[in-house]
Structure 1
Amino acid sequence: MRLFTDEDQLIEGLCNSDPVSFRIIYRLHWKRLFDLACHIMQDEADAEDVVQDVFCSLWYRREQLQIRTALENYLVKAVKYTAFFYLKMQAARRNATLPEEAIPSPVNSTEESLFHKELEAMMNRLLGTLPFKTRRIFSLSRFQGLSYPEIANEMGVSVKTVEYHISKALRRLSARRGLF
């Protein structure tokens, strides 16, 4: 087993698809990022989704990464951006606007724009691996903000069926990321 002496070696390992480097980065930063996401999202499940999305994106983009700052700063910025994106999506789903100060708009840098596009592409690829019914139920829950009973009513299935498909989607998506 290799010993990593500094952050540059971890980043280099990550860029070279080394799962050990990724796991070390994950274990070093997960708690702080989760706490930050909880503070922003005010919901542990949503915060976990945000942090998971950031780490999935980090792994899927590993070969193209160009981190020009401290890794922790990069990850904190990614969590903030992703959390604010989630909040915007939730607000849009509720057809209500939150006060502008509640959702600061991210700096429109090329790197953030690229991060956002790659995150969306990764999510679309992952969702594309799900069966149609599971994908539809997951999308209604996560992207349209419907509750399980609302989804059950719309799809003409039981709440237990909705729970099953959401659980199935999360398991399959977790298995696809394969590193946590």
Structure 2
Amino acid sequence: MAPELPLLSNDDIYLLTGLAQGDAMVFRLIYQAYERRIYNIAFYYTDSEEDAEDIVQDVFTSLWLRREKIELKGSLENYITRCAKYTAFFYLKMRQKKKQATEHAAIPQALDGPEEHVRYKDMQAYLHHLLESLSHKTREIFYLSRYCGLTYADIASRMEISVKTVEYHVSLALRKIASQKI
């Protein structure tokens, strides 16, 4: 017996076909139809306007990038709603991880003796050397984030760039640091 295909409305079939073909007008129609719903879902879960706006962009970016591979098991509305919820949950998980990392790294432990003090200074010098190997922009954004404690939104506003650009540069710096063997 063949698997049952989901029953899609004619509107969903039209939108999915147009989306898969890369039709910008169809994508705009989907955006206009679901942008507010995604925002409301994201805001409900994250209680953050900034995160809700980012989630809207993430959901639609993902929708566009995956447009040729989407296989629905229900309506397009249900699919987009699930995407919004999963993305909001991901943001909450990342927020929690960031909070935990900040709590653990906030205050360096007291240095007991001269050996620990020398190791600490060596580690600082090594980190400084790693940061110097980054591009000026990446280094500046990382410094503002980690050493000045500015939020991504504050950095984006100060440097007149998008929050996504800030996220990219901080991620780039962290990957560089993480890839080094200490």
Aligned-partner residue type, residue 61 of structure 1? R
Alignment match, 2:77: 72
Q: Percent identity?
A: 36
Alignment match, 1:18: 23
| Superposition CA RMSD, Å | 3.4
From 6, 21, 42, the equivalent of 2:11 is: 6
Change (3 A) 1:26 1:140: farther
Alpha-carbon distance in 1 for matches of 2:42, 2:155 = 30
Residue-by-residue CA offset, 1:87-113 (whole Å, 9 max, x unaligned) = 0011011108xxxxxxxxxxxxxxxxx
Aligned-partner residue type, residue 150 of structure 1? G
**8 Å Cα contact 2:156-2:163 kept in structure 1:** no
Alignment match, 2:43: 38
Aligned-partner residue type, residue 60 of structure 1? L
Alpha-carbon distance in 1 for matches of 2:65, 2:99 = 31
**8 Å Cα contact 1:30-1:51 kept in structure 2:** yes
Q: TM-score, with normalisation over the residues of structure 2?
A: 0.57
Q: TM-score, with normalisation over the residues of structure 1?
A: 0.57
1:76-115 mapped onto 2 (5 Å cutoff): 76-95=81-100
**8 Å Cα contact 2:141-2:155 kept in structure 1:** no
1:169 deviation in Å? 3.6
Alpha-carbon distance in 2 for matches of 1:68, 1:140 = 46
Alpha-carbon distance in 2 for matches of 1:77, 1:88 = 16
Max radius of gyration: which structure?
Answer: 2
Q: Which sections of structure 2, spanning at least 5 residues, go unmatched?
A: 1-9, 102-133, 167-182
Alignment match, 1:155: none
1:168 lines up with 2:161 in the alignment: yes
Alpha-carbon distance in 2 for matches of 1:68, 1:15 = 16
Count residues in correspondence. Answer: 124
**8 Å Cα contact 1:14-1:21 kept in structure 2:** yes
Alignment match, 1:157: none
1:21 deviation in Å? 0.4
Alpha-carbon distance in 2 for matches of 1:46, 1:137 = 23
- SS at structure 2 position matched to 1:94: helix
Aligned-partner residue type, residue 161 of structure 2? K
Alpha-carbon distance in 2 for matches of 1:95, 1:86 = 14
Return the structure number with greater relative CO, CA threshold 8 A, min gap 6: 1
